[in-house]
Amino acid sequence: MRLRRISVTGAVGALAAALLTVPVTPAAAVPGDLQVIPALKQWTAGTGSYTFGAATRIVVDPAYTAQLNDDAATFAADLRDLTGRTVPVTTGAAATGDIRLTLGGSQPAEGYTMTVGSSIAIQGSTDAGAFYGTRTVLQLLKQSSTVPAGTTTDSPTKSERGMMVDVGRKYFTVDWLRRHVKELAYLKMNRLHLHLSDTFGFRLESTIHPEVVSEQYYTKQQIRDLIALAAQYHIEVIPEIDMPGHMNAILADHPDLQLADTNGNRNPYYLDLSKPGAYTLTRDLITEFLPLFPGRYWHIGADEYVGNYAAYPQLLTYARATYGPNATAKDAYYGFINWANDIVRAGGKTTRMWNDGIGTDGTIRPASNIHVEVWYNYGITPQALLDRGHTISNQAWDPTYYVPAISKPNVTWAYETWTPERFQGNNTVNDPSRNLGTVLHIWCDYPDAETEDQIAAGIRTILRVIAQQTWGSPKPVAAYTAFTPIIDRIGRAPGGPAVATGNLATNRPVTASSTETASFPASAAVDGDISTRWSSAYTDPSWIQVDLGSSQELSRVALRWEAAYARAYQIQTSTNGTTWTTAVTVTAGDGGTDEHVLNTTARYVRMQGTQRATTFGYSLWEFEVYGPKKGAITGTASGRCIDIPGSNTTDGTAVNLWDCNSGGNQTWTHRNDGTLTALGKCLEPANGSLTDGTAIVIRTCSTATYQRWTYDAATSSYRTGGKCLDANGGGTANGTRLILWPCTNGANQRWSTPTA
């Protein structure tokens, strides 16, 4: 899927909102101290309250231990991450302060009833319903240890709610994916769609076709582990290997299967469906990975294939030879879809595909048992798809597409106006029950436009909006501006993505030389919301400056320009707000996102615009300032983090690999002087020895050069003394020692560095 064929400005969304506005109805019956996302469908107040405390237990109904014990264990682990307390799981009768899980009632499959009194009772119609009740409790306890008494019955409107990640174009670490499994579940979402192949990558380990596998990939065991975690959190993983278009990464090693036009020019994007080898290759890929994914679905992509079939006459020749003399060239595409569908169904799964290629231009049609994901108003309408017998889901690019450097959702419109029944182009359907739902889509046409941590921060609000809209409960508040405080109150999932991006400028005092209108204040450039912006008057020079509150070590600044960007500007710093030092000078700015290194200490940071690139003023979505990078360092091969065992800060304590847990003993700061610090100690080869195999330890920081590490982005390696940080013996298990070793560019020397 790409957006390069679509040119849309913010004005279009505003116009659409004006043309079709759906009234919003706040859930007035739910009090302010019971706000969760998605909101409860209803609430009946009781008398008294519940208090979580040291004696709290999770009590499973003994009649349903087989169904609920796993969910109880997951809930206990999440409560530990949230509160720091170990909550025992037991069976029997609930006492004051306990949380009881049981099954029963007449709620829909994912519904539950929660009764709050001196204890909390959650009754799910299925184990999934009971699990979602525990998510409600987690969100409430995130805000307070006390919950008002009352009863709710709660269930979703849409059966599919979740997120798609374009790991084909941009590799996302296993840790990032695992954390977002917990984030999705926290919001009662149940789908994780992995777009595993595209222009820049094929991300699955393959034993049949190892030649197509990209340098950064997921092992089959990593996928199994991810699927197991997702199942634990009631999330179904949907795999997609895109075909017969978007096949650059696969066809790079099969150039003979690239579709050639009448001039002999091969298009690396398209598979030549007239060649028998095309079917052998794609059958191999589907059948190798079908058993790896135990879920109900397999996504074949099938989007954005040939636009001009006349340029490829071999497709028409093939179609008529295969499907009859009246076949059209497009029948080669439709026939391939049905051929792939037969393979998928033989494997016990339902095929999914994107909608844009389905038209009325062939003698055959895609099989009606294929689920169609409607992302844009190309091809036939959503209603026409239903009329043909398909089930569908609404994946409207506006507002579900998050595409760094191309398009970001209008979260206000998404919350206040859009619903899952509103397809792209304002299309609707007669039977909403056959529209299964909606997910957020992270597309990475420009994979380096944002880091995975920046993407995690960028999707935070729209993910919660889509969670609310697909659950379908009455909105807790009418206006998006009133919804954002609720987002802040419930925060991130326990064990989910990092809470903060490390942006020191977020919500700090900010001033500017001017503003275009009151709608574009200076504060919008530091509010952490990429859908709001500051815009200056139409004049040179203009400036915006932020007060960080105290002098701090600074490592970089990021400017995220709107279309009105600076051709020339300076980044200036100051310790007192009066005397300024120019740290960066730009004379040929080109907009987009600019990042600059700042190896300095300062309290104030200013963008001094000296030449506008347009007739408008200067406009920034965000003005970000960062200190030294801070976060986990994750092994590419293992997916595990560099860990100080037991948080032992004794000099000479050896570090190792361990399951990532967001603890301080796995949080490393990349200081401007090159040191890597955690728990106040520096990482070094033991006693400064550069001998091969020297253990990596922590020690009191000094000026020693062997405590200075450089990160080589080309090889993803950490280096000191001309040697590399290495997982001993290529180990990936918990407890694997880290050593110093000659650089080999091996997977055991590749590390994911913190990005913020």
- Torsion sign over Cα 459, 465, 469, 471: positive
Asked whether the beta carbons of 390 and 380 are under 8 A apart, the reply is no
Cα 355 from Cα 350, distance rounded (Å): 16
Asked whether the beta carbons of 744 and 738 are under 8 A apart, the reply is no
Asked whether the beta carbons of 634 and 175 are under 8 A apart, the reply is yes
* Helix, strand, coil % over all residues of the chain, rounded to 5: 30, 30, 45
The b-or-e profile of 669-708 (16+ CB within 10 A means b, else e) is bbbeeebbbbbebbbbbbeeeeeeebbbbbbebeeeebbb
Cα 412 from Cα 461, distance rounded (Å): 10
DSSP 510: E
DSSP 153: E
DSSP 603: E
DSSP of 84-131? SPPPPEEES---TT-EEEEE-SS--TT-EEEEESSSEEEEESSHHHHH
Active-site residue, selected from the candidate residues 110, 304, 373, 452: 304
Residue 309 burial class via C-beta count within 10 angstroms: exposed 0-12, middle 13-18, buried 19 and up: middle
Is 698 in a helix, a strand, or coil? strand
- What is the chain's length? 756
Asked whether the beta carbons of 405 and 383 are under 8 A apart, the reply is no
Task: Assess whether 304 carries a catalytic annotation.
Answer: yes
Active site residues per annotation: 304
